Chains A and B, each alone.
Chain A
Amino acid sequence: MIKKTVEFIALKQRFIIAAAVIFALLYPLLFSDLFILRMGTLCLMYIMLALGINLIMGYMGQMTFGHAAFWGIGAYTAAILSGRFGTNFIVDIIAAALVAGAFGFLLGLPVLKVKGYYLTIVTLGFGEIVRLVELNASGLTGGALGIRGISGIRLFAQEFTSPRAFYYAILILVVLTTVILMRINNSRYGLALKSIRDDDSAAEVMGVNVVRNKIMTFVISAMIAGVAGAFFAHYISYIDSTSFTTQASQEMCVMVILGGLGSIPGTMLGASVLTLVPEFIRGLAEYRMLIYGVIMVVMMLVRPQGLLGYTDFGLIRTRLLEERGKKKGGGENNGTTGTEG
């Protein structure tokens, strides 16, 4: 049953992707309710964050609990820049990516000394320190008061503040992120990450500069979170350090853990379910974190790789098509040398 469904999705994946994209494009036109539009926007932003963290968790196999720090760094960068210099949205995004990327580099540096378990702890400490700096460096971040009155999306000498504009802005960013991740996945860099995940010392022996790849991954993942942060700052127009806590990092991790490590559709599923379900089911919001905790435990016990973890629909499709080709073509040359065993 599950296998059949997975195969069906794999075969129809192009159709499903097209349908999803069209739905995403029409969403703000179909639903004019502000709450629903807001949910869609937040959901997309969490998808972006979860995709970014999945690069570290799913592809590289490194647990991290400090990712909200990059989100926050991006948000503060955009808020400070646009507030003090009136920069436009593109500049904010690039600056947020660069600053967050620089901090990602900083957090990546410890891989020179520690790995795995201990590195996870370092990320946790890093996240808390960044939050405390945001809370206390009042001159820069507004301290406990945060930064208020952040502008809308400034672009082409205009300021867009409508919910729809924000929705389409984050949609574009999510699409870009997805494309980047797919390209990484299907490249030498993707191979290197997966080999590091599976066995990093063997990867090193097979020619992978493990340290460099790990640091690079922290940088890219941090940049994605930073951009999401810049968007977030403009979207909600008021930020303070209470958004960028370890708990927020944990929520991002749980989205990936539920949806599936190393799986783009899985991440989207996990992020969507966990953002939307507590909001749409009345009375569930209070139990939100409790549910996250239960998911963490249950997933670890039952399916540690997540629902769609390491499920490669592209691969399943290739295999299925090949099997069919064999049946139809009557053993057309597939180059099989099945003489062994």
Chain B
Amino acid sequence: MFLQQLLNGIALGSTYALVAIGYSLVFGVLRIINFANGSLYMLGAYLVFVLYSAMNGQLVLAILFALLATAAAGFLVDFVGLRKLRRDNAPRMSGLISTMGIATIIENVIQIWIGTETKQFPDFLNFGSFQIGSAIVTSTQICIFFISLFLMAAFSLLVYKTKIGKAMRAVSQNMTTARLMGINVKLVISGTFMVSGFLAAVAGTMVGAYYRAIDTLMSSSVGMKTFAAAVLGGVGSLPGAMVGGLLVGVAESIGGSYISSGYRDAIAFAILILVLLIKPSGIFGKKIVEKM
């Protein structure tokens, strides 16, 4: 039982980690929380569903297009909702409300367009299952874990080893200086949003495959949970987002089965509040000192 829940939690947690990376990347660069990130996760899954039906089962192509389209949507979140606010030097709270508005728009467009009923999702990662002790592990879980791990490793390499990553980190430390150094700040910001959209879409697609179904409620709780994961790990920290994602996934899975399944979702929120109150910088985050 415990082992089973632990394995379930790791699989789920690794998808949280992917979405949490998106929150962290954006927060690192802009110091704002992109509330639309959770709805991009849902958008990604729905686009796979729609394209898969429309393209007569061309699954690989459908997924590819969906991921790219969600990345583009990520770019649009910034372009529509945030670029002007940056130019106006608006308070950060405006960015929060604006991205929350975009999240509401995305979710409702999907609801109106596709409907609120649960849709069946292609079960494309299912190649069977095997047993470890008393626990059953499905191939879907294994795929989710390794795809997430691969993407996390790839993005760590991107951020820490490449020129683009260097530019990204420079922008997150000081935007003005980065601009003066000749870094195309706009491009870096757009890139960050596209990456976070892409990762969210991958996570959404994998979770769709995991449950073999998607519905329009999938984004609201995941948005909060993955955000909790990002905060737990330390917003702005890439390894923090990964560890935070796994921890929230495991805590939710184990807590949900041992305490009460009704309070399953509350666990992530409780973690979120406790971290903010006790150590707002999270596990890996740096402390931000406010100046007088």
What residues of chain A have their CB less than 8 Å away from a CB belonging to chain B? 63, 65, 110, 113-114, 116-118, 120-122, 124-126, 128-129, 132-133, 135-136, 201, 246, 250, 253, 257, 286-287, 289-290, 292-297, 299-301, 304
Q: Does B9 contact A (CB under 8 A)?
A: no
Contact B276 A300, beta carbon cutoff 8 Å: no
When C-beta atoms are compared, the residue in chain B nearest to A109 turns out to be B277
Residues on B with C-beta less than 8 A from A290 are 104-105, 108-109, 112
Q: How far is the CB of B111 from chain A (nearest CB, A)?
A: 8
Contact B100 A296, beta carbon cutoff 8 Å: yes
What residues of chain B have their CB less than 8 Å away from a CB belonging to chain A? 33, 80-81, 84-85, 90-98, 100-105, 107-109, 112, 220, 224, 227-228, 231, 260, 262-263, 265-266, 269-270, 272-273, 276-277, 280, 292
Contact A136 B272, beta carbon cutoff 8 Å: no
Residues on B with C-beta less than 8 A from A113 are 276-277, 280
Question: Do A294 and B105 contact each other (CB < 8 Å), given the known contacts A113-B277, A122-B277?
Answer: yes
Contact A128 B104, beta carbon cutoff 8 Å: no
Most buried by A among B96, B100, B112, B224: B100
Report which of A114, A120, A296, A300 forms a contact with B90, defined as CB distance below 8 A: A300
What are 12 of the A-B contact pairs (CB < 8 Å)? A113-B280, A117-B96, A121-B33, A122-B277, A129-B270, A129-B273, A133-B266, A290-B104, A296-B100, A299-B97, A300-B101, A304-B91
Contact B102 A63, beta carbon cutoff 8 Å: no
Interface of B, helix, strand, loop or mixed by DSSP: helix
Residues on A with C-beta less than 8 A from B100 are 65, 250, 296
Most buried by B among A117, A124, A301: A301
Interface of A, helix, strand, loop or mixed by DSSP: helix
Question: Do A293 and B273 contact each other (CB < 8 Å), given the known contacts A117-B92, A132-B262, A300-B94?
Answer: no
Contact B101 A295, beta carbon cutoff 8 Å: yes
Question: Do A114 and B280 contact each other (CB < 8 Å), given the known contacts A120-B93, A129-B269, A132-B263?
Answer: yes
Report which of B98, B224, B263 forms a contact with A301, defined as CB distance below 8 A: B98
Question: Do A289 and B94 contact each other (CB < 8 Å), given the known contacts A122-B277, A126-B273, A297-B80?
Answer: no
Cα separation A176 to B57 with both chains bound (whole Å): 62
Contact A304 B90, beta carbon cutoff 8 Å: yes
Question: Do A201 and B105 contact each other (CB < 8 Å), given the known contacts A117-B96, A246-B220?
Answer: no
Q: How far is the CB of A130 from chain B (nearest CB, A)?
A: 9
Contact B277 A114, beta carbon cutoff 8 Å: yes
Contact B260 A296, beta carbon cutoff 8 Å: no
Residues on A with C-beta less than 8 A from B96 are 63, 117, 120
Contact A129 B84, beta carbon cutoff 8 Å: no
Question: Do A136 and B263 contact each other (CB < 8 Å), given the known contacts A257-B97, A286-B112, A290-B108?
Answer: yes
When C-beta atoms are compared, the residue in chain A nearest to B104 turns out to be A293
Residues on A with C-beta less than 8 A from B105 are 290, 293-294, 297
Residues on A with C-beta less than 8 A from B108 are 287, 289-290, 293
When C-beta atoms are compared, the residue in chain A nearest to B81 turns out to be A297
Report which of B101, B224, B270 forms a contact with A294, defined as CB distance below 8 A: B101
Residues on A with C-beta less than 8 A from B228 are 125
Report which of A122, A136, A289 forms a contact with B273, defined as CB distance below 8 A: A122
Contact B104 A121, beta carbon cutoff 8 Å: no
Contact A289 B224, beta carbon cutoff 8 Å: no
Contact B263 A296, beta carbon cutoff 8 Å: no
When C-beta atoms are compared, the residue in chain B nearest to A288 turns out to be B108
Cα separation A117 to B273 with both chains bound (whole Å): 13
Residues on B with C-beta less than 8 A from A63 are 93, 96-97
Contact B276 A128, beta carbon cutoff 8 Å: no
Give the top 4 A-B pairs by smallest Cβ distance, nearest first: A296-B101, A293-B104, A136-B262, A293-B105
Contact B277 A132, beta carbon cutoff 8 Å: no
Residues on B with C-beta less than 8 A from A300 are 81, 85, 90, 94-95, 97-98, 101
Q: How far is the CB of A246 from chain B (nearest CB, A)?
A: 7
When C-beta atoms are compared, the residue in chain A nearest to B100 turns out to be A296
Residues on B with C-beta less than 8 A from A289 are 104, 107-108
Most buried by A among B97, B112, B224, B277: B97
Cα separation A301 to B220 with both chains bound (whole Å): 24
Q: How far is the CB of A197 from chain B (nearest CB, A)?
A: 11
Cα separation A296 to B100 with both chains bound (whole Å): 8
Contact A118 B280, beta carbon cutoff 8 Å: yes
Cα separation A270 to B5 with both chains bound (whole Å): 47
Given contacts A117-B96, A297-B105, 19 further A-B contacts (CB under 8 A): A114-B277, A120-B96, A125-B269, A125-B273, A135-B262, A246-B220, A250-B104, A253-B97, A292-B104, A294-B105, A296-B97, A296-B98, A297-B80, A300-B85, A300-B90, A300-B94, A300-B101, A301-B81, A301-B85
Cα separation A56 to B196 with both chains bound (whole Å): 32
Q: How far is the CB of A276 from chain B (nearest CB, A)?
A: 20
Most buried by A among B102, B103, B269, B272: B269
Residues on A with C-beta less than 8 A from B273 are 110, 122, 125-126, 129
Residues on A with C-beta less than 8 A from B280 are 113-114, 118
Residues on B with C-beta less than 8 A from A114 are 276-277, 280
Most buried by A among B85, B228, B231, B272: B272
Report which of B93, B112, B224, B270 forms a contact with A117, defined as CB distance below 8 A: B93
Contact B277 A110, beta carbon cutoff 8 Å: yes
